[in-house]
A and B are shown apart, each in its own frame.
Chain A
Amino acid sequence: MATQLIRGGSILLALAFVGLTLISYPSINDLAFRVAMLIIVATSWNIMANAGLVSLGHSAFWGVGAYVGLLTANTGMPLGVSITFGFLAGGLLGILLAIATARLRGFFFAICTLGLSEGLRVVALMLPNITGGAVGLFLAQEARPPLKLIFLLGSIGAILAVAIAIVLSRLPFHYACRAMRNQERAAQMLGVDPRIYRARVMALAGALAGAAGSLNAMYGGYIDPSIAFTLRVTIESQIAPILGGLYTIAGPVLGSGVIVLLAEWTRLAFGANEGLSQLIFGGILVFAILFMPLGIVGVWTKARARRRRDSSMVRGGDPPDAKPRRAGA
């Protein structure tokens, strides 16, 4: 019964979300769009994290999507094509990264993603003929799509991303990823070929982030290397899922909403101080890891399990604790 409620409620929420983009209230449209973009990259980050791949460089996909999308649009292609190219570019980058990091896990993988995004930023800086270098790239006037269309695509994109995550969680693919997260070698013994699954995961995650990046570039109309490969995307795409609930589907969505609203609130309350919102985000990250590693959803799940356990006769077990007790010999 509860799940049906949740399902129904989610659909209503999704429809309301789309509605937000259609009403003529620019500041709300903008907020909704930013939430939508974050939902996409947060879901994308979460998909990778679910397979044990912590990405510290998600802005790599975002930035590549931004450049490819913008450049495509400037050649006169319609919006749909530009976004698709951004999608494909992100996916391709994901596959390349998967190949390059085939044998790497944990810290080594994470630092590679960081190197990737920083390295791409330098590359973008050093190839002005293609990317406009430090001067940056403008979206040609003729190529500017109507705002309403961008917003609509944004919210639909977010819904699609979540839908993809839901579908993934039903497929055997999901369990393969979970197995990989816990023990890649053990997963191999179950017949899961880590390399193929990694490539698929990273291609998908990269593609989603790339698409979001290109759509966002259409919205902003201007990018340069530090805007395209901004650390902000990397940071927010991590914090949203962690705050909301790592490895869950609702987590990235919840977290995205909180993050964007929090950023907006700090802007209104304390002035356009980029530093303050980042500071708060960092604090949230630290707090979440120390006290609620399973995020808001995790806290809610634990509370629900405790209530259920208290009211039942059977002695239930506690959800697995975040901290393992050290074994002796």
Chain B
Amino acid sequence: MTPLLAIRGLIAGYDDSEVLHGIDLDVGRGEVVCLLGANGAGKTTTMSVLTGLIRGSAASVCYDGADLFKMKPHERVAAGVVLSPEGRKVFPELTVEENLILGSFTPRAREGRKQKFEEVFGLFPILAERRRQRAGHMSGGEQQMLALGRALMAQPRLLLLDEPSLGLAPKIVLNVYDAIRRIAQSNISILLVEQNAQAALSVASRGYVITTGLITHQDSAENLRGSKDMQDAFIGNIRRHDNERREFDAPNP
């Protein structure tokens, strides 16, 4: 079966520096794939280029049989490519409810708005509690739930998640990843980008590792979890994320 997303030779960057030097990546239908890498490796750049926030070039970027780069940013969302961005980027002065409504801005999503509300509130009851609160007044974890919920309101077929664990306390990260697991069960394809490799690998079936703009490893999640190469590559990460990892720890030799 053809993958939902097939990227070949993606090059992208900012003003005068190229960050991605040609990466290949696939996301199958209904798959959860993670993209791991350290700071500055190019994870967020990948997300930005896929959503159209920055320009890039590629041999091919195929989404559901169509050329993704031919679509304008808002057309991509309408086609089901939805990002929950790094740092949440909620609309601070708007209420939780308004944020969610905005998530379903595209005409297709607007139709199913009422149902989606129930779904999202079922997944994140805290949002229902806080529905009339200003989004900017919520905690980091709550904002992350809001960002996820907002992305879901758009009725995504390919859900892009950019560092959902960033800046969150370990317990909250657990909650967030619980939700991600449940979302994955509803057959939405997910491309998950993370520094926190253990968290990502606990929910993904396949993973890529990106280092300074190039894909250096690629394997099933199971293999990556136990791989010595991977642990070496992330030696910095492992030390930094030690606390968070305790929850996800596989027995360490």
Q: Shortest beta-carbon distance, B55 to chain A, in Å?
A: 7
Q: What chain A residues lie within 8 Å of B87 (beta carbons)?
A: 329
- Is A315's CB within 8 Å of the partner chain B? no
Contact check, B15 vs A328: say whether CB atoms are below 8 A apart. no
Q: What chain A residues lie within 8 Å of B138 (beta carbons)?
A: none
Interface segment among B41-49, B148-156, B244-252: the answer is: B41-49
- Is B85's CB within 8 Å of the partner chain A? yes
- Is A103's CB within 8 Å of the partner chain B? no
Which residues of B (13-53) have their CB < 8 Å from a CB of A?
14-15, 44-45, 47-49, 53
Task: Determine the main DSSP class of A at the interface with B.
Answer: loop
- Is A325's CB within 8 Å of the partner chain B? yes
Contact check, A327 vs B86: say whether CB atoms are below 8 A apart. no
CA of A117 to CA of B98 in the docked complex: distance in angstroms? Answer: 45
Q: Shortest beta-carbon distance, A326 to chain B, in Å?
A: 6
Q: What chain B residues lie within 8 Å of A329 (beta carbons)?
A: 44-45, 47-48, 53, 85-87, 162
Q: What chain B residues lie within 8 Å of A326 (beta carbons)?
A: 53-54
CA of A178 to CA of B48 in the docked complex: distance in angstroms? Answer: 33
Q: What chain A residues lie within 8 Å of B86 (beta carbons)?
A: 329
Q: Shortest beta-carbon distance, A322 to chain B, in Å?
A: 13
Instruction: Select the residue from A324, A325, A327, A329 with max chain B CB neighbours within 10 A.
Output: A329
Number of interface residues of A (CB under 8 A): 6
Q: What chain A residues lie within 8 Å of B162 (beta carbons)?
A: 329
CA of A328 to CA of B162 in the docked complex: distance in angstroms? Answer: 13
CA of A326 to CA of B49 in the docked complex: distance in angstroms? Answer: 11
Instruction: Select the residue from A325, A326, A327, A328 with max chain B CB neighbours within 10 A.
Output: A328
Q: What chain B residues lie within 8 Å of A327 (beta carbons)?
A: 14-15, 54
Which residues of B (34-79) have their CB < 8 Å from a CB of A?
44-45, 47-49, 53-55
Instruction: Select the residue from B15, B44, B86, B162 with max chain A CB neighbours within 10 A.
Output: B15
Q: What chain B residues lie within 8 Å of A324 (beta carbons)?
A: 15
- Which residue of chain A lies nearest to B49 when distances are taken between CB atoms in the complex? A328
Q: What chain A residues lie within 8 Å of B85 (beta carbons)?
A: 329
Which residues of A (284-329) have their CB < 8 Å from a CB of B?
324-329
Q: Shortest beta-carbon distance, A317 to chain B, in Å?
A: 8
CA of A326 to CA of B14 in the docked complex: distance in angstroms? Answer: 7
CA of A329 to CA of B51 in the docked complex: distance in angstroms? Answer: 12
- Which residue of chain A lies nearest to B87 when distances are taken between CB atoms in the complex? A329
CA of A325 to CA of B54 in the docked complex: distance in angstroms? Answer: 8
Q: What chain A residues lie within 8 Å of B45 (beta carbons)?
A: 328-329
CA of A328 to CA of B73 in the docked complex: distance in angstroms? Answer: 13
Contact check, A325 vs B55: say whether CB atoms are below 8 A apart. yes
- Which residue of chain A lies nearest to B13 when distances are taken between CB atoms in the complex? A325
CA of A328 to CA of B53 in the docked complex: distance in angstroms? Answer: 6
Q: Shortest beta-carbon distance, A182 to chain B, in Å?
A: 15
CA of A329 to CA of B44 in the docked complex: distance in angstroms? Answer: 7
Q: What chain A residues lie within 8 Å of B53 (beta carbons)?
A: 326, 328-329
Which residues of A (229-253) have their CB < 8 Å from a CB of B?
none
Q: What chain A residues lie within 8 Å of B15 (beta carbons)?
A: 324-325, 327
Which residues of B (81-111) have their CB < 8 Å from a CB of A?
85-87
Q: What chain B residues lie within 8 Å of A328 (beta carbons)?
A: 14, 44-45, 47-49, 53-54
Which residues of B (198-219) have their CB < 8 Å from a CB of A?
none
The listed residue (B14, B47, B49) touching A325 by CB distance below 8 A is B14
Which residues of A (98-121) have their CB < 8 Å from a CB of B?
none
Q: Shortest beta-carbon distance, B13 to chain A, in Å?
A: 9
- Which residue of chain B lies nearest to A324 when distances are taken between CB atoms in the complex? B15
CA of A242 to CA of B44 in the docked complex: distance in angstroms? Answer: 39
CA of A329 to CA of B13 in the docked complex: distance in angstroms? Answer: 11
Q: What chain A residues lie within 8 Å of B54 (beta carbons)?
A: 325-328
- Which residue of chain B lies nearest to A327 when distances are taken between CB atoms in the complex? B14
CA of A130 to CA of B193 in the docked complex: distance in angstroms? Answer: 72
- Which residue of chain B lies nearest to A326 when distances are taken between CB atoms in the complex? B54
Q: What chain B residues lie within 8 Å of A325 (beta carbons)?
A: 14-15, 54-55
CA of A328 to CA of B19 in the docked complex: distance in angstroms? Answer: 12
CA of A115 to CA of B48 in the docked complex: distance in angstroms? Answer: 43
9 contacts between A and B (CB under 8 A): A325-B15, A325-B55, A328-B45, A328-B47, A328-B48, A329-B44, A329-B45, A329-B47, A329-B85
For the A-B complex with A325-B15, A325-B55, A328-B44 known, give 7 more contacts whose Cβ atoms are closer than 8 Å.
Answer: A325-B54, A326-B53, A328-B45, A328-B49, A329-B45, A329-B47, A329-B48
A residues engaging B (CB < 8 A)? 324-329
Q: Which 7 A-B pairs have the closest CB atoms?
A: A328-B48, A329-B44, A328-B54, A328-B53, A327-B14, A325-B15, A329-B86
